[in-house]
């Protein structure tokens, strides 16, 4: 594989999309959730009830925290340290989200940070979009940032972007066993459903706690790439178009405070202010108190002031 050229650090982010376009993108992400809520309401009492809602919520949190704590804040940015056992647990939890093998996910995300909103960014809604782009061109760029990029081969170089992980036998093994973790993410909710209502419950657990939960989490994760680079506020200088989005801050377990994260990528805390709910940070605090994580990294107040817009 050829070496990927470095981007031009002096280049500026592209022009921000119009309000109409940003609303269209936000609607494209939110409307499917509303449709799903309507489907749940119609199925309530027949093919969905509190048991299955609980299974969906449990699996969403297990896989979601696996991604936010494991794939993202620990393995990608090394924002805290933990034991080998906890690394394995978080790696397996993240694998159940079906978002890709550990090494690929980390390498892709590090590449995103290195080239954020520039030509080499794997999933930017701004890169390669001319300032005079039409409304349709911008919508296509947003669609690419949300999910289209997954359909293209960007040839992420794991040896370049994640050599520290590639040289770790445990993490290589966790990454190689990705199909097993995905299977577990489907089998566990099916088993829970079986315990609730036999074969019928197993099917519903598989459909809701397995497939539907994966779809929900995928769209939330993808929205960090798309919505959080066009819709929201920018409190800190980050050199790109990353935004803080409160809706995705909640749904993404803290990941939606995206401008904060891009300004301070090694910070274990993304919701840097008390009103910015960051459930992943609260879990890290709890794990630190019981001694399961150490060396938790957060930016100093002087650093926050220095980068404030």
pLDDT in tens, 27-50: 555 665 665 676 677 677 777 788
- Rounded to whole angstroms, the Cα distance separating 221 from 202 reads 27
Cβ contact 182:98 at 8 Å: yes
- Where residue 191 falls among pLDDT bands split at 50, 70, 90? very high
pLDDT at 57 exceeding the cut of 70: yes
> 256: which 2 tokens?
């939606």
Whole-number pLDDT of residue 17: 42
Whole-number pLDDT of residue 39: 63
Lowest-confidence pick of 36-40, 58-62, 294-298: 36-40
Summarised one tens digit per residue, pLDDT across range 64-116 is: 999 999 999 999 999 999 999 999 999 999 999 999 899 999 999 999 999 99
Lowest-confidence pick of 115-119, 231-235, 302-306: 115-119
Whole-number pLDDT of residue 11: 34
DSSP sequence for 245-267: -HHHHHHTTTTTBHHHHHHSTT-
- For range 48-57, the mean pLDDT: 89
- For range 1-5, the mean pLDDT: 28
Whole-number pLDDT of residue 138: 79
Over pLDDT 90: what percentage of the chain?
64
Cβ contact 60:264 at 8 Å: no
Whole-number pLDDT of residue 1: 27
Summarised one tens digit per residue, pLDDT across range 103-155 is: 999 999 999 999 998 888 888 888 776 676 677 777 888 888 888 888 776 56
Average pLDDT, the chain: 86
pLDDT at 20 exceeding the cut of 80: no
Whole-number pLDDT of residue 43: 74
- For range 253-259, the mean pLDDT: 98
- Where residue 25 falls among pLDDT bands split at 50, 70, 90? very low
> 4: which 2 tokens?
């990927």
- Rounded to whole angstroms, the Cα distance separating 203 from 196 reads 11
- Rounded to whole angstroms, the Cα distance separating 6 from 273 reads 34
- Structure-model confidence comparison of residues 2 and 112, the more confident one: 112
Whole-number pLDDT of residue 299: 96
Whole-number pLDDT of residue 32: 58
pLDDT at 7 exceeding the cut of 50: no
Lowest-confidence pick of 26-40, 99-113, 219-233, 250-264: 26-40
> 149: which 2 tokens?
């990029």
Q: Which residues pair with 233 in a beta bridge?
A: 244
Q: Where are the domains of the chain?
A: 19-307
Cβ contact 202:189 at 8 Å: no
């Amino acid at each position: 594989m050829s070496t990927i050229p470095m981007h031009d650090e002096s280049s500026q982010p592209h022009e921000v999309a119009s309000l109409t376009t940003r609303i269209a993108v936000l609607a494209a992400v939110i409307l499917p959730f509303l449709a799903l809520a309507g489907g749940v309401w119609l199925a309530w009492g027949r093919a969905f009830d509190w048991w299955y809602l609980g299974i969906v919520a449990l699996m969403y949190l297990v896989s979601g925290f696996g991604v936010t704590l494991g794939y993202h804040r620990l393995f990608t940015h090394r924002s805290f340290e933990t034991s080998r056992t906890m690394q394995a647990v978080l790696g397996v939890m993240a694998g159940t989200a079906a978002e890709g093998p550990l090494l690929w996910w980390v390498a892709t995300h590090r590449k995103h940070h290195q080239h954020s909103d520039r030509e080499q960014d794997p999933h930017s809604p701004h890169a390669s979009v001319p300032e005079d782009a039409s409304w349709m061109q911008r919508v296509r760029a947003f669609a690419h940032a949300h999910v289209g990029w997954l359909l293209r081969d960007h040839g992420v170089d794991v040896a370049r972007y994640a050599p520290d992980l590639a040289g770790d036998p445990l993490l290589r093994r966790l990454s190689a066993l990705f199909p097993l973790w995905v299977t577990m993410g489907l089998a566990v909710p099916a088993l829970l459903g079986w315990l609730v209502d036999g074969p019928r419950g197993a099917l519903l657990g598989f459909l809701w706690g397995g497939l539907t939960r994966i779809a929900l989490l995928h769209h939330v994760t993808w929205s960090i790439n798309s919505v959080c680079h066009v819709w929201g506020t920018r409190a800190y200088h980050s050199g790109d178009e990353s935004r803080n989005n409160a809706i995705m801050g909640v749904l993404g377990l803290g990941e939606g405070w995206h401008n904060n994260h891009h300004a301070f990528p090694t910070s274990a805390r993304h919701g840097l202010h008390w009103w910015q709910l960051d459930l992943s940070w609260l879990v890290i605090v709890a794990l630190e108190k019981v001694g399961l994580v150490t060396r938790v990294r957060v930016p100093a107040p002087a650093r926050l002031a220095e980068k404030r817009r």
